[in-house]
Amino acid sequence: MTGIEPTSPTVEGRNDVVISVRDLVKRFRSPAGAWVTVLDGVSFDVYRGETVVLMGGSGCGKSTLLNCLIGEYAPEGGQILFKTRDMARPADIVGMDEDQLNAIRRRFGILFQSGALFNSMTVAENIALPLLEHSDVDPSIVDIVVTLKLEQVKMLEHRDKMPAKLSGGQKKRAGLARATALDPEILFYDEPSAGLDPVTSAAIDELMMDLSKKLNVTSVVVTHEMDSAFRIADRMVMLHQGHILQIGSRTEFEMLRDTPIEDLKTSEDKLMNQFLNGHTEGPLTDAEGMSEFEKLIVAG
Amino acid sequence: MTDPGPPAQAPAAGRAVRLVEAVGRSVKDRLANARQTIAFAGGMAALLGEGSRWLWRGLFVPGIKFRRQAAAAQMVRVGVRSIPIILLVQVFIGIILALQMAPTLTDYGQLERVADVVGIAVFRELGPLISAIVLSGFAGASIAAELGTMVEGEEIKALRAHALNPVQFLVVPRVLATVLMLTGLTVIADLVGTFGGFLTSVLVLDIDPRVYIDYTQAALKNRDFLTGLVKAAVFGMLISLIACREGLTVTGGAEGVGRATTQTVVKSIVALIGTDCLFTATFYVFGW
């Protein structure tokens, strides 16, 4: 294990790093049998209490990065260091055994794209599960905590419903209540706005910001919904071809978005501008602008 | 006039190349099949090892919960709900056996021996085997579909993300329930199959009920019952492990879930009959 150094290119001189990703490499085998590098030397830091949005085009590696952060994928190289308040030293989850990894996992919550509620349980049972499994609290206390968590996400009237009876937005709210059940210090969000109408999407964004403030959690959000990203982000990370193209504050990204493309000098800035504005033509959609993984996705 | 040499050589060379290609393709396919079989067997062994470790930890290591309620729920789902179909199938098996053996045994003047044949065949073979085959379609496919849908709905990923092990949480209760319930179902199947043979013998073959019962009691030994139960327990483990593995390795959405359920039934039946053959050969060699 190594100490975390505040080496972010955009935020200098801070020592309140919660997650530090260093030179992360992740490869997959393609159907043809060749190795495809999806993440190639990715490094960035996440600081206490902030909301960092990871974004990029389809196949850029953002979901792979999230899966590495939550210990779902084992990277081929690099480090993923966690340092929560109760930890004396940062812990590198790369190469950890399952028991050690689970000890780290108990410190964070995750909202999955589909909500990922357990369909065989009611909403209340879904939220109670982490509490019952990872604590020795009395079931009556668990019931009180479940009620509080459901109130936070305005889902109290749905506590005894099965997940199949909920709408997409309600599933995400319930998923968020479950993610916060153990009062985590870090929350990961995988495409929280995907598949939702604009009003519900905005409501989920407000809920996320509200929870961040109330619970003082650090949030890492993977999304390619630009409206949502600009609403919730403190800082933004743009991934492209398995590399980090740009890390910056929301204001910096807004400037890149709003500057006419012909006034931008570097190819990276032009690429960012195309992505942030959702233009169909530009350097991002040129064949050279696509990674091997992106080309595989485009080719089906 | 054309030169006859080169055209004659060219098709010959082409045939040779095609032959080499065909042999190469065949070898490649067989190697791929062998690799898949080894990977499947390895995956099953790993699942069995991890399942056993979690069962041990759940039962004997303080602080690790053994999921009694989940196991009980699975027992109801796997076992209790399959009782009616097992009853129906085993009655038919008893009837079929009695009717099939009656003409041959009549030729030898040994019609009463129908009781021996039905009793031994049902207790040693058909009770556990047919119950297991029914259960592979009834419960195995359902377990594979359930776990496959959970994989596709990110529920398995969510379990891991909440520091819960899917093997501990899902596989152990299902394997335990299937092993226990198939053993119990086999006892029921033995009784019902014998009853089917009894009914046919009394009502159709005119065998005296007392004679049938006496012959059955004389023919059956404890080992016939016990070997059947041992088989049932192993069959239950095979079905549930195959179903869990197929379910947990689903890829490709709804189509993948459908493929997993089909593969579970096919692989279970092959594994059940293969294992039964091994058991029977072993019991034969040792005179059990």
Residues B40 and B166 in one domain: no
Does the beta-carbon distance from B153 to A113 stay under 8 Å?
A: no
Tokens of A250: 């929301």
Is A105 in contact with B155 (Cβ distance < 8 A)? no
Tell me, what's the pLDDT at A281?
75
User: A99 in contact with B at a CB cutoff of 8 Å?
Assistant: no
pLDDT digits (tens, 9 = 90+) for A154-202: 899 999 999 999 998 899 999 999 999 988 999 999 988 887 888 888 8
Q: What band does A13 get if pLDDT is binned at 50, 70 and 90?
A: low
CB spacing of A116 vs B65 below 8 angstroms: no
Residue A112 is nearest to which of B65, B149, B157, comparing CB atoms? Answer: B157
- Considering only CB atoms, which chain B residues are within 8 Å of A105? 160-163
Same domain, B96 and B15: no
Nearest to A118 among B155, B160, B161 (CB): B155
Query: Which tokens sit at B61?
Result: 């290591």
* CB-defined contacts A:B, below 8 A: 52
Residue B246 is part of which domain span?
Answer: 67-286
Distance, in angstroms, between B88 CA and closest chain A CA? 30
List the 150-209 stretch of B: residues with Cβ below 8 A of A.
150, 153-155, 157-165
Distance from CA of B66 to the nearest CA of A (A): 11
Report residue A291's pLDDT band, with 50, 70 and 90 as the boundaries: low
- Tens of pLDDT, residues A217-254: 999 999 888 888 999 999 999 998 888 999 999 999 99
Check whether residue B53 and residue B92 sit in a common domain.
Answer: no
Domain edge (last residue) among B26, B48, B64:
B64
- Quick one: B25 and B71 in the same domain? no
Indicate if B253 and B136 belong to the same structural domain: yes
Say what the ipTM of the complex is.
0.81
Structure tokens at A165: 């009876």
User: Pick from B64, B99, B114: which residue ends a domain?
Assistant: B64
Contact B162 A129 (CB under 8 A): yes
Distance (Å, whole) CA A180 – CA A217 = 10
What's the distance, Cα to Cα, between the start and end of chain A in Å? 40
Model confidence, pTM: 0.81
Q: State whether residue A192 sits within 8 Å of chain B by CB.
A: no
Pairing of strands A77-82, A17-29: antiparallel
Residue A196: its pLDDT value, please?
81
With beta carbons under 8 A apart, name residues in chain B contacting A130: 162-164
Query: What's the whole-number average pLDDT of chain A?
Result: 85
Which residues of chain B have a pLDDT value below 70? 1-10
The answer, for A119 touching chain B at a CB cutoff of 8 Å, is: yes
Q: Are residues B218 and B98 in the same domain?
A: yes
Quote the pLDDT of residue B70.
87
Sort out which chain A residues have CB atoms less than 8 A from B50's CB and list them: none
Q: Give the DSSP letter of residue B136.
A: I
Measured CA to CA, the distance from residue A273 to residue B218 in angstroms comes to 89
Overall average pLDDT of the A114-143 stretch? 90
Domain boundary among B64, B94, B112: B64
Of the candidates A70, A103, A116, the beta carbon closest to that of B155 is on A116
Q: Do B10 and B82 have their domain in common? A: no
pLDDT for position A300: 46
Q: What is the rounded average pLDDT of the residues A103-119? A: 91
Cα separation, B268 vs B235, in Å, equals 9
Q: If you measure CA to CA, which chain B residue comes closest to A114?
A: B153
Summarize the confidence of residues A267-271 as an average pLDDT.
Answer: 84
Q: Are B205 and B104 in contact (CB under 8 A)?
A: no
Torsion of CA A112, A115, A116, A118, to 10 degrees: 150
B-chain CB neighbours of A101 within 8 Å are 163
Residue in B with minimal Cα distance to A111:
B158
**Chain A positions in Cβ-Cβ contact with residue B69 (cut-off 8 Å):** none
One domain, residues B261 and B273: yes
Q: What is the pLDDT of residue B10?
A: 62
Same domain, B60 and B81: no
Alpha carbon of B179: minimum distance to chain A alpha carbons (Å): 22
pLDDT of residue A271: 84
Number of helices and strands (H, E) in chain B?
Answer: 12, 0
The tally of domains found in chain B comes to 2
Here the tokens at position A17 are 């790093």
Q: What is the pLDDT of residue A272?
A: 84
Rg (CA), chain A: 20
Greatest Cα pair distance in chain B? 96
Q: What is the pLDDT of residue A296?
A: 55
Q: What is the rounded distance in angstroms from the CA atom of residue A41 to the CA atom of residue A25?
A: 5
Say whether B56 sits in a helix, a strand or coil.
Answer: helix
Q: What is the pLDDT of residue B79?
A: 85
- Chain A within 8 Å of B252 (Cβ-Cβ)? no
Output the pLDDT for position B160: 93
Q: Is B59 found in the same domain as B164?
A: no
Query: Could you give the percent of chain A with pLDDT greater than 90?
Result: 46
- On whether both B101 and B224 belong to a single domain, the answer is yes
Contact B135, B82 (CB under 8 A): yes
- Tell whether A136 is within 8 A of chain B (Cβ): no
Residue A280 touches chain B, beta carbons under 8 Å: no
Interface test with B, best of A63, A114, A191 (most B CBs within 10 A): A114
Q: Are residues B74 and B187 in the same domain?
A: yes
Average pLDDT over every residue of A29-43 = 87
pLDDT of residue B277: 95
Of B181 and A57, more confident: B181
Give the pLDDT confidence score for residue A4 in this predicted structure. 43
Q: What angle do CA A255, A259, A264 make, to 5 degrees?
A: 110
pLDDT at position B7: 55
Q: Has residue A80 got a pLDDT over 60?
A: yes
